[in-house]
Amino acid sequence: MKMKRIPIVMDCDPGTDDALAMLMVHGAENIDLRAITTVAGNLNRETTAQNALNIAEYFDIPVPVAKGSYPIMKKFEALDTSIMGAGGLGNAVLPKAQREFSPYNSIELLHQEIQKAPGEIVILATGPLTNVALLLSVYLEDRELIKEIVIMGGAVYHGNHTPRTEFNIYTDAEAAKIVFQSGIPIKMIGTDVTYRTSVTKSDLDSLLAGGKRISRFIGDLMFYPGSEQHPFPEEGIYIWDGLAAAALICPECMEWKHVFVDVETRGLLTYGETVADMNNYLKQPPNVHIAFRCNKDIFIGIIRKTIEKIN
Ligand code: RIB
Ligand code: CA
């Protein structure tokens, strides 16, 4: 029997881990990647968009790629270039794509794809939630038509950008608040699961042993921390967006908790925190499934399948 594939749009800010996540969903047999929309986050909107277009062309991902937005209210601050390199793809250098960007911006393209698959479409968001929030503000009717939003973002117990915030949410907390309050089912793959699921050098050596073109690309993405600037971390690296892609491809690989979450947008020290009511003090209906653990073997297995499938 033919497997029913999940129609998705990936909203992202490539970004080394976004790049791997793109390949994972492109290669997954149960995912129907329909479009890639990009947003400012790791880098400015032009660079994230060009990276996405270059990746789509280089790996023959036959979907439109659109340019997106900058944060709605907060001043834009790109990620420190020491983390993903000045171009955002670590040591990977791709030819500039020949194909054009979509004539539509990210919000328009998201809207079009939602209209084509009402009630079925899933958004995989691996960058700041600016585009998704603007979509939900401009095309109010889409709120009823999006099946789920799978987000790489947020932190319940410890952050990766300020003490208790994660970068994507911190970059545009007002946007995140709109999305978390939208009533659309949300899966949140945040630092609570990413910190527990690091990928070591030996994991990568074994995954990339095949010497295929895609293996060299992923190696250039992921071994950037191994360049002379800074040694490959003993504890391994965190492939944040790859875990979000894995959660979409195989939700059973994660352990979830369904709780009420809202986003702080006013605190001096707490701006961008995803405040999760783990003990139901606020008596609000749960709106987010938060991933707290991941079966690492399944995660690594999905990456292995991606490498097997894509040249
Ligand atoms: O905090 C991790 C997130 O920030 C990932 O999406 C990574 O790509 C960066 O954007
Ligand atoms: Ca990202």
> Is the CB of residue 154 below 6 angstroms from any atom belonging to ligand 1?
no
Q: 266-275 as b/e, with b when 16 or more CB fall inside 10 Å?
A: eeeeebbbbb
Distance from the alpha carbon of residue 169 to the mean position of ligand 1, in angstroms: 9
- Regions of the chain where pLDDT drops below 70: 1, 225-229
In this structure, is residue 91 part of a structural domain? yes
Whether pTM > 0.85 for this model: the answer is: yes
54 lies in some domain: yes
Q: Give a yes or no: residue 250 inside a domain.
A: yes
Of the candidates 164, 47, 132, the one whose C-alpha atom is nearest the C-alpha of residue 94 is 47
pLDDT tens digit sequence for 130-187: 999 999 999 999 999 999 999 999 999 999 999 999 999 999 999 999 999 999 999 9
Half-sphere exposure of 90 (CA within 13 A, CB side): 23
Q: Is residue 285 part of a domain?
A: yes
- Residue with the nearest Cα to atom 1 of ligand 1? 167
**C-alpha atoms less than 13 angstroms from C-alpha of 142 in its C-beta half-sphere:** 25
Cα dist from 85 to 37, 70, 92, 93, 167, whole Å: 22, 20, 9, 11, 16
Residue span of the structural domain in which 99 resides: 6-309
Retrieve residue 187's tokens.
């899966």
pLDDT of residue 225: 60
The confidence score (pLDDT) of residue 297 equals 98
Cα–Cα distance for residue pair 102/37, rounded to 1 Å: 9
Q: Is residue 1 part of a domain?
A: no
Q: What is the CATH number of the domain that holds 125?
A: 3.90.245.10
Number of domains in the chain: 1
* Rounded distance from Cα 207 to ligand 1 centre (Å): 22
Q: Residue 80: what pLDDT?
A: 86
| Residue 117 maps to a domain | yes
Contacts of 18 (CB under 8 A, 6+ apart): 12, 42, 48, 52, 126, 127, 241
14 CA from centroid of ligand 2 (Å): 6
Q: Between 130-138 and 106-116, two packed helices, what is the crossing angle to 10 degrees?
A: 60
Q: How far apart are the CA of 240 and the centre of ligand 1, in A?
A: 6
Ligand 1 mutation pick, 42, 89, 195, max ligand atoms within 8 A of CB: 42
Which residue out of 10, 150, 152 has the highest number of ligand 1 atoms within 8 Å of its CB and is therefore the one to mutate?
152
Q: How far is the CA of 12 from the centre of ligand 2 (A)?
A: 6
Does a structural domain hold residue 88? Answer: yes
CB-ligand 1 contact for 238 (6 Å cutoff) = no
pLDDT value of residue 187: 98
The pLDDT score that the predictor gives to residue 141 is: 97
For residue 226, the model assigns a pLDDT of 58
